């Protein structure tokens, strides 16, 4: 994991809240309320351009990586078909004992610039044995 | 606003694969059995966000998506295919437990008043 990435923006992207993706997500959840829930969590910020891009930018060793924390704050659910902008950045990165940690934040805004959701993911890369 | 304990059916490998496609997260620990085992896991594991989404869905079913304002989760243990998921209300939030009672995740939850 790159330890000099604190404050760095990993990517800024425009995306639509694709109805097919929402359906795929709802199918994965497989409940009567899945469509409603899918509109809360249609994206995992770090993997919006695919997990390989994230891994490359932060130089994560996936064989030693874990997700340690995950948070979401919503102002409202996402709306199917709406255009959103996503900014994904490294809020913090640090070493503790033999492990390395990165807190990656994703901010989603609507076409008017209003925040829809902020979510954070804490990645842990365990020290090599 | 109150909600009650719910147990969801076991997560399947197909659900994990569908989630991987939906959010473009094909980290091999979720889809490649050999890679997962070589990484110290007993098998592939469900994505953390999928596990949390299943838990949230059980709450959404009772309070509606618009009532959910924030959640802050700590992941404690991997969630394996074939394991059920029980969403247990605790003070300030909830726990997610697998079929053997192992706590997979603890979370603070903020709902609309």
Instruction: Give the neighbor-by-neighbor strand order of the sheet with A83-96.
Output: A9-16, A83-96, A99-109, A115-125, A65-74, B68-75, B103-111, B93-97, B85-90, B6-8
Q: Is the dihedral of CA B106, B87, A74, A12 positive or negative?
A: positive
Residue A115 belongs to a domain: yes
B5 pLDDT higher than 70: yes
Is B34 at the interface with chain A, CB within 8 A? no
Considering the segment(s) B7-111 as one domain, its CATH architecture is Roll (3.10)
- Number of A–B residue contacts, CB under 8 Å: 109
What pLDDT was estimated at residue B1? 79
How many other CB atoms are there within 10 angstroms of residue B2's CB atom? Answer: 7
Residue A4 belongs to a domain: no
What pLDDT was estimated at residue A128? 77
Is B32 at the interface with chain A, CB within 8 A? no
A63 pLDDT higher than 90: no
Q: What is the pLDDT of residues A34-43, one digit of tens each?
A: 999 999 999 9
How many domains does the structure of chain A reveal? 1
Average of per-residue pLDDT across A46-74? 93
CB contact under 8 A, A25 and B23: yes
CB contact under 8 A, A74 and B70: yes
Residue A2 belongs to a domain: no
Q: What is the pLDDT of residues A119-129, one digit of tens each?
A: 999 999 998 76
Residue A62 belongs to a domain: yes
The structural domains of chain B, with segments of one domain joined by +, span 7-111
CB contact under 8 A, A50 and B72: no
CATH number at residue A43: 3.10.129.10
Q: Average per-residue pLDDT in chain B?
A: 96
What pLDDT was estimated at residue A62? 87
CB contact under 8 A, A33 and B72: no
Q: What is the pLDDT of residues B56-73, one digit of tens each?
A: 999 999 999 999 999 999
Query: By CA distance, what is B74's nearest residue in A?
Result: A69
DSSP label of A62: G
Question: Could you list the residue range(s) of the whole structural domain that residue A66 is in?
Answer: 9-125
**Judging by beta carbons within 10 Å of its beta carbon (0-12, 13-18, 19+), is residue A41 exposed, middle or buried?**
buried
Residue A3 belongs to a domain: no
- DSSP for chain B, please give it: -----EEEPPP-HHHHHHHHHHHT---HHHH-HHHHHHTT-SS----HHHHHHHHHHHHHHHH-GGGEEEEEEEE-SPPPTT--EEEEEETTEEEEE-TT--EEEEEEEEE--
Mutation for testing the A interface, residue in B8, B53, B92 having most A CBs under 10 Å: B53
């Amino acid at each position: 994991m790159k330890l000099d990435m604190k404050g760095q923006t990993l990517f800024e992207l425009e995306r639509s809240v694709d109805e097919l993706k929402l359906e795929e997500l709802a199918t994965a959840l497989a409940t009567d309320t899945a469509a409603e829930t899918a509109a809360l969590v249609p994206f995992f910020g770090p993997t919006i351009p695919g997990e390989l891009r994230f891994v490359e930018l932060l130089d994560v060793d996936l064989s030693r990586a874990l997700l340690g924390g995950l948070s979401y704050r919503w102002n409202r659910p996402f709306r199917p078909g709406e255009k959103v902008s996503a900014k994904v950045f490294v809020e913090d990165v640090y070493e503790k004992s033999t492990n390395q940690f990165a807190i990656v934040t994703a901010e989603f805004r609507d076409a008017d610039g209003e925040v829809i959701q902020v979510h954070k993911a804490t990645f842990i890369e365990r020290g090599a044995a | 606003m109150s909600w009650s304990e719910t147990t969801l059916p076991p997560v399947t490998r197909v659900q994990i694969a569908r989630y991987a496609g939906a959010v473009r997260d094909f980290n091999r620990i979720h889809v490649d059995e050999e890679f997962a085992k070589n990484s110290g896991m007993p098998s592939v594991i469900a994505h953390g966000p999928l596990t949390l989404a299943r838990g949230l869905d059980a709450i959404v079913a009772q309070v509606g998506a618009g009532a959910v304002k924030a959640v802050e989760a700590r992941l404690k243990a991997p969630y394996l295919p074939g394991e059920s998921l029980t969403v247990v209300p605790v003070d300030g939030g909830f726990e997610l437990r697998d079929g053997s009672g192992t706590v997979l995740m603890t979370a603070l939850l903020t709902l609309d008043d």
